[in-house]
Amino acid sequence: MKRNLQLLLVAVLASGISLFLYQQYLLPVTEVAQQTVSKSKVKIEDTLPQDTGVKFVKHFNSSDADFTQAAKKTVHAVVHVKNVSIGRAPRTIQEYLRGMRGGRAVQGAGSGVIITEDGYIVTNYHVIKDASEIEVTLNNNRNYKAKLIGAEPNSDIALLKIEAKDLEYLTFGDSNDTQIGEWVLAVGNPFNLTSTVTAGIISAKGRNLGAETAGLPSFIQTDAAINPGNSGGALVNINGELIGINTAITSQTGSYIGYGFAVPSNNARKIVEDLIEYGNVKHAVLGIQAATINPNMVEENELKISQGVYVAGVSDGAKEAGLKKDDLITNIDGLRVRKLEDLTSYVQTKRPNDVVSITFIRNGNEKTTEVKLTEFERLRIIKAGIEIGNASSEYLQYFKAKYGVKILGTLNDRINIPDDQFIITRIDDQKISSVKDAKRIIQNKAENEKTKITFKDRLGREESYYF
């Protein structure tokens, strides 16, 4: 009997100790794990104190991700855009001057996104470029003739308008708040298959695809399938908010191979608002010549940081704010700057006279200054089909020139001048040092009066043409 009583006491004591340990260690961790899983619905791995050796793992169930509401909201706001243009236009100055003209009508197609209930639609510029006629088809198969309100070729964004009311539309989300790994949907009309929805994640942000996309905002990269015909369509988050305009793919076949790119919504929104309010796009500049910090810079200059923007020269607002050559920019308005594209893409969302906060490092010390953005002047010379902007002294050196203006791009396919191969040095035999010089000359000419423009190439050779 005495032995049985001892065994009973040992059993009770052991149970008490087990209960105490469970309440003190196991139960709290289990509850925390369960609460975290229920809130985030993502994989969670939580390890107990070393002495227990217990590990809990909860896996994400893909069936928990519901895209139906975002898809339902988006498909009705994405439209099919068709254009008719004249094919095979001259590709060089010489062809244009020889009188080569376009021939047959060519129909192209893409997508667009309704952004107001009364019919404003945003799309890619390349979808409607040179269109003589634009037709929009809604998800309910209703057709409308669309009017081109304006465009920003350098950002590949265009704004259309149809005469309609009470349309379903998308609201802009904040593309700066998007995160790598976030679920997204791409909605458009690939291969003329209307109202197609694909899902994926944001694969990267701040993408620059090289020289062919120079001037474009840095892209959002996604693995949601984007194919020909998706251009101008919507990239939306799980809430159905517009966070990008699908624009490009990287592919050797011309079809999707896992990489799609979208213009961030903040850049597209600023362009659209400018076109509606001003009729043109207001361009702001920080006033620096800069480059992304690379490993060679870090090694040669013994830099203490490996990411950011190196300031090679200053002017305008940056100079007035106290920025100097050799400063290292790391932050703008609270956003981290890892490379030059981060900086330029953000500035493209601003307007002249806006003020931004710049954090930079000088001589190993972190500083902050407020910079007032200035206007980037540009001029469209309609007769010549080109757009020009001011050129820095460093840029002119490439052309062995002391004066001239930069060619920003061509306005249509009548003429094709590589913008990095020529500058304009004279108009009507008068030296041109700035956009203001060009405006003064052109504005004083009669409408039917020909304009003589002198081009200079990188070898320093000049040649003049009449337009």
Catalytic residues: 126, 156, 231
User: HEC states along 297-353?
Assistant: HHHHHCCCCCCCEEEEEECHHHHHCCCCCCCEEEEECCEECCCHHHHHHHHCCCCCC
Backbone angles phi, psi at 400, to 5 degrees: 55, 45
The number of beta carbons lying within 10 Å of the beta carbon of residue 29 is 16
For β-strands 78-86 and 288-292, DSSP reports them as: unpaired
Tokens of 6: 């001892």
Closest CA to 147 of 162, 132, 137, 158: 162
Task: Give me the DSSP letters along 209-255.
Answer: --GGGTTSPPEEEE-S---TT-TT-EEEETT--EEEEEEEE--SSSS
- Dump the DSSP string for 49-83: -TTT--EEEEPPPGGG---HHHHHHHHTTEEEEEE
Closest by Cα among 430, 457, 316 to 373: 316
Residue 281, both tokens: 């796009």
Alpha-carbon torsion (365, 366, 369, 371), positive or negative: positive
Cβ 373 vs Cβ 353: under 8 Å? yes
User: Residues near 310 by Cβ (< 8 Å), separated by ≥ 6?
Assistant: 290, 291, 292, 293, 297, 326, 328
> Amino acid identity of 92?
T
Enumerate the β-bridge partners of residue 196.
Answer: 188
Give the residue from 155, 157, 144, 275 showing the smallest Cα distance to 216. 155
Residues facing 454 on adjacent strands: 426, 464
Q: Is 99 helix (H, G, I), strand (E, B) or coil?
A: coil
In angstroms, rounded to a whole number, what is the distance separating the alpha carbons of residues 426 and 438?
9
C-alpha to C-alpha distance for 456 and 156, rounded to whole angstroms: 27
SS3 content of the chain, % helix, strand, coil (to 5): 25, 35, 40
Give the list of residues 6+ apart from residue 144 with CB closer than 8 angstroms, or none: 119, 135, 136, 137, 138, 162, 163, 164
